[in-house]
Amino acid sequence: MTTVANRSKAGRAGDAPPARPTRRRTRPGTGTSRPWLLLLPALVVMAGLLLWPMVQVVLLSLQNFGLRELVTGRTRWIGLDNYTALLSDPNLWQIVLPNTVVFAIVAVLATVVVGTLVALLLNRLGTVSRGLVTTAILVAWALPAVTGTYVWVFLFTPGDGIAVQALDAIGLLDATTANPFADRVSFYVIALLNVVHHGFPFVALTVLAGLMTIPNELNEAAVIDGAGAWRRFWSLTFPTLRPVFAVVTVLSTIWDFKVFTQIYLMPGGDGVNRSVLNLGTWSYVESFAQNKYGLGAAIAVLLTVVLLVITMGYLRLLFKEDEL
């Protein structure tokens, strides 16, 4: 027994120690550069599709580019003259910019509010009812902007439009003389209904996805503590879904600031009624109706700058540095 024990100890003593795992040496900076190398093809494609056209628009805005230059291919550089003419135009400050900014702010608020209310409704419904309502609102989302705009134009057709007849029945207007598309305010009210109707399903479904991640125990605890629906939303739901609301608000801001189809296709929105122009339609009219491509490009650049400033300001207000 002693001999066997001694042999086993000698055998264990003679065993080679286990090999240590070797670390693979990587070149300095490889760990940080590899993701960028993998993203490089996609970034090149995005630069070609987005960045290069933007550069061309900026260059075009520095030229006096009209129909003659388009035919001959010659360019006439005028520096910032297009921007000087644009910023000194009273139509920009009195008509176009207020139409763009005020409409976008109201449309974003209305879209987010309506979408959030619909999301809260969907979150309380059963599986079957939720599926039916979700299918119904997806029809509005899937409807092309052109088709949806013509539907709203049909509803508010002067004289015999269904909405005009309904408003005449309750005494808000005279169907025989009223033209909702001629007045600046009523024109944008119809456009607001169109934009909100087309945009709220995205907000509703996105917020609903966030609501389904909140544990039911938190709402039950808030109810036990005596918190009402309004208090639960502001103290529990909104702080939890703050990143979700940031996404839908930023995207809605981008879409509503550069809204074009819903304005251009409505009667008078193609430039006939100058009082309803926004930056998008004004840029199109100046470029393709007046053949002032340089001025139209300057308007497009101004729209992009305004949009970037508002979006960045909103993000800085919504998020703190430690939350990014």
pLDDT, one tens digit per residue, over 273-303 is 999 999 999 999 988 888 889 999 999 999 8
Give 31's pLDDT tier (boundaries 50, 70, 90).
low
Q: Are 100 and 305 in contact (CB under 8 A)?
A: no
Query: How far is Cα 316 from Cα 208, in angstroms, rounded to an integer?
Result: 25
Query: How far is Cα 17 from Cα 7, in angstroms, rounded to an integer?
Result: 18
| Residue 227 in this model has a pLDDT that exceeds 80 | no
Helix (H, G, I), strand (E, B) or coil at 286: helix
Within 170-278, residue ranges assigned H as helices are 184-211, 216-224, 229-232, 238-240, 242-257, 261-264
Residue 29 in tokens: 């900076």
Give 102's pLDDT tier (boundaries 50, 70, 90).
very high
Token look-up 């009219």 returns: 285
Interval 46-95: pLDDT, tens = 888 888 888 888 998 898 888 887 778 788 888 898 899 999 999 899 99
Domain extents for the chain? 53-88+292-324, 98-285
Helix (H, G, I), strand (E, B) or coil at 312: helix
Interval 149-174: pLDDT, tens = 999 999 999 888 899 888 888 888 88
Q: Which CATH architecture has domain 98-285?
A: Orthogonal Bundle (1.10)
Which residues does 197 contact at the CB level (< 8 Å), separation at least 6?
A: 140, 148, 152
Buried b (16+ CB within 10 A) or exposed e, 233-247: beebbeeebeebbee
Q: 88 or 1, which is more confident?
A: 88
Q: Are 266 and 151 in contact (CB under 8 A)?
A: no
- Identify which of 70-79, 98-107, 304-313 has the greatest average pLDDT: 98-107
pTM above 0.85, yes or no: no
Residue 28 amino acid letter: P
Query: How far is Cα 270 from Cα 103, in angstroms, rounded to an integer?
Result: 17
Query: How far is Cα 118 from Cα 112, in angstroms, rounded to an integer?
Result: 10
Q: What share of the chain is helix, strand, coil (3-state, %, to 5)?
A: 75, 0, 25
Query: How far is Cα 147 from Cα 149, in angstroms, rounded to an integer?
Result: 5
